[in-house]
Structure 1
């Protein structure tokens, strides 16, 4: 096993170095390099992990994969899924829940963030829960061919951009950037052309949406706005999909409401670990918890900024996709 791991690591390192030199490059802010890898913009610090995941991850039939673009409700869905799947391990009031000491991102790991030994050993208890920002076409073949299930969450692109904009501005290495309307408009242009982390946005969304139409037992497609509007109904559907349905007794005991309360932005934001903890040397835990509002883009964009999203939205409409829970009056 050790010899196999060593050989695999050498192969990954070789492929990583070759790709890093040969692939088209762009930057999302000055200090965040991206490479165009398999038709999506992969942050360079995730490239080696993406290569490792695609070549060596073996999905199990009981696995659950949360897929999303950054800033579309990933943290919220990680907390909901983790709590739904593991709820028998906690008291009814969730007073001993791991969220009191760990950020949801420490409990539900990104597949493209795992090292080789973790991927090969895969010794998590079943059902295993992972997350990814990779597009559907770039997933490991084993995910597509196994009976594992995928939960995908999307968010309207204007609010997604605003959340992504603020998220990166809070990175330690971007502290010297002084944002203004001109800079924001420039980055809206990049985003709408598809030049953003794990973008293009519309290709990412459509990849999972089309697969959910072909195989609804495999992919559950959710809208962030729908979760906000009807959290209880969506939580029940989510629990059914991942094979952990709520019992009548749990419903009578308001377990669903307790999970919604525990995993709310307000609740997670107030936990001490998310006020003062660090996810990495460059990202504080509090960075993951901003507003979570629907329609926040209206307080940031001028009409000309909003119009830049027209082509993206037309592409979605042409493919037959429209947001069920959100109407953008552009």
Structure 2
């Protein structure tokens, strides 16, 4: 295994064409929906999705073509996705791109330009671009496990999640940076408590991947953002083992696990020119800078009242009760 190859290195030209699949329009028009502070969401298979994502998820379920060696990264929005993309790409691609390589894709591209977001590609009618990627492919989705097509059943899946309060704060900052500056945090908080935030309910998202990871740990690796922050080098080693490319004794002696962790740290990535300028995205243009805010645990204390924190904690605790999955605030 030599790959993966950075998506942007295969598709060098920008393509902003949006050609949503139209064959699902009649079905979509019947789905429950509502709008809050400019965000329109629809309920599809028990999940609240941004309006433009629904046809993409439906197309993904019906048309995704797996390739041997595919690895799927999954996450709720704003839960460590950018970091997981960087770490996974660096671990899987280290044979072709050693961490010391000055021309490493992660030193000249944003992590989201290296690992494609399937939901948006299918939503824009650009899923054919995935076929041009050589195996092994590294792909990403925000979809719940229950929504994944059977074609992904045999793929390795790495799921990362974040303490829900911090996830909501990060999501709010990201939405504001993407053009919805008048979107109040209280609105997003209420949606989350009702299970109606984008890709919500949060607890269903978590439990889906958690239960499968416990039943088949060889197929789904479940990571917590807060634990990754405590020991990123151990996370790098865990990723390598799970993906079937454990570090050799020579690589360990050369310090590659620590080198990869350092190269993919938020401070290192934030300082790169590729992440200081430019933007990415099809339906919303997101500045590369917007993916690198604080990257810490506990930032929710500056945005939530104690009453709000107790409320969301109580809801999540009740929903996760008996599963064995817990979070420490």
1:134 aligns with 2:136: no
Q: Does 1:110 align with 2:114?
A: no
The Cα offsets for residues 31-75 of structure 1, whole Å up to 9 and x where unpaired, read as x32111111011112222212111011223411000100010000
1:320 has 2:324 as partner = yes
Give TM-score, length-normalised by structure 2. Answer: 0.88
Of 26, 41, 44, 1:18 maps to: 26
Q: Could you say if the C-alpha distance between residues 157 and 121 of structure 1 is closer, same or farther in structure 2, counting changes exceeding 3 Å? A: closer
Task: Check 1:275–1:64 CA distance in 2 against 1; reply closer, same or farther (3 A cut).
Answer: same
> TM-score with structure 1 length normalisation?
0.87
CA distance in 1, matches of 2:51, 2:86: 27
1:304 aligns with 2:307: yes
The match for 1:285 among 288, 293, 304 is 288
Q: Is the 8 A contact 1:56 1:120 kept in 2?
A: no
Q: Which residue does 2:247 correspond to in 1?
A: 246
SS in 1 for 2:210: helix
SS in 1 for 2:158: strand
CA RMSD, Structure 1 to Structure 2 (Å): 1.9
Aligned to 1:57: 64
Residue in 2 that maps onto 1:294:
297
One of 132, 156, 163 as aligned partner of 2:170: 163
Deviations 1:135-176 (A, max 9, x none): 0010011112x2x1000111110100110011101112x13x
Q: Considering fraction of residues, name the structure with more helix.
A: 1
Change (3 A) 1:134 1:245: same
Q: Is the 8 A contact 1:65 1:149 kept in 2?
A: yes
SS in 1 for 2:93: helix
1:205 equivalenced with 2:206 (yes/no): yes
- Report the Cα distance in structure 1 between the residues aligned to 2:162 and 2:247, rounded to whole angstroms: 26
The offset of 1:28, in angstroms, is 5.2
Q: Is the 8 Å Cα contact of residues 72 and 139 (structure 2) preserved in structure 1?
A: yes
Residue 80 of structure 1: aligned partner: 87
Aligned residue-pair number:
306
Unpaired segments of 5 or more residues in structure 1? 1-9
Aligned to 1:5: none
Q: Which residue of 2 aligns with 1:100?
A: 107
Contact preservation (8 Å) 2:236, 2:260? no
Q: Following TM superposition, by how much is the alpha carbon of 1:235 offset from its aligned partner in structure 2, in angstroms?
A: 1.1
Which of these residues, 21, 32, 35, is aligned with residue 27 of structure 1?
35
Structure 1 contact 189–308 (Cα < 8 Å) conserved: no
Q: 1:13 to 1:253 in 2, by over 3 A?
A: same
Q: Any conservation in 2 of the 1:79–1:263 contact (CA below 8 Å)?
A: yes
1:224 aligns with 2:238: no
How much does 1:92 deviate?
Answer: 4.6
- Aligned-partner SS, 1:13: coil
Sort the Cα spacing of 1:92 and 1:21 in 2 relative to 1 into closer, same or farther, 3 A. closer
CA contact (8 A) 1:57 1:119 kept: no
Q: Deviations over 1:273-326 (max 9, x none)?
A: 211111136321111111011111112211111122111222112333223xxx
Q: After superposition, what is the alpha-carbon deviation per residue over 1:209-255, rounded to whole angstroms, capped at 9, x for unaligned?
A: 00011111110111111111111112111111111111111111111
Does the C-alpha gap of structure 1 residues 127 and 121 become closer, same or farther in structure 2, counting only changes over 3 Å?
Answer: closer
Of 233-242 and 40-49, the range deviating more from structure 2: 40-49
State the SS of the aligned residue for 1:88. Answer: coil
Task: Identify which of 52, 69, 75 aligns with 1:68.
Answer: 75
Q: Aligned partners of 2:74 and 2:286: how far apart in 1?
A: 21
- Cα contact 1:26–1:195 (8 A) shared by 2: no
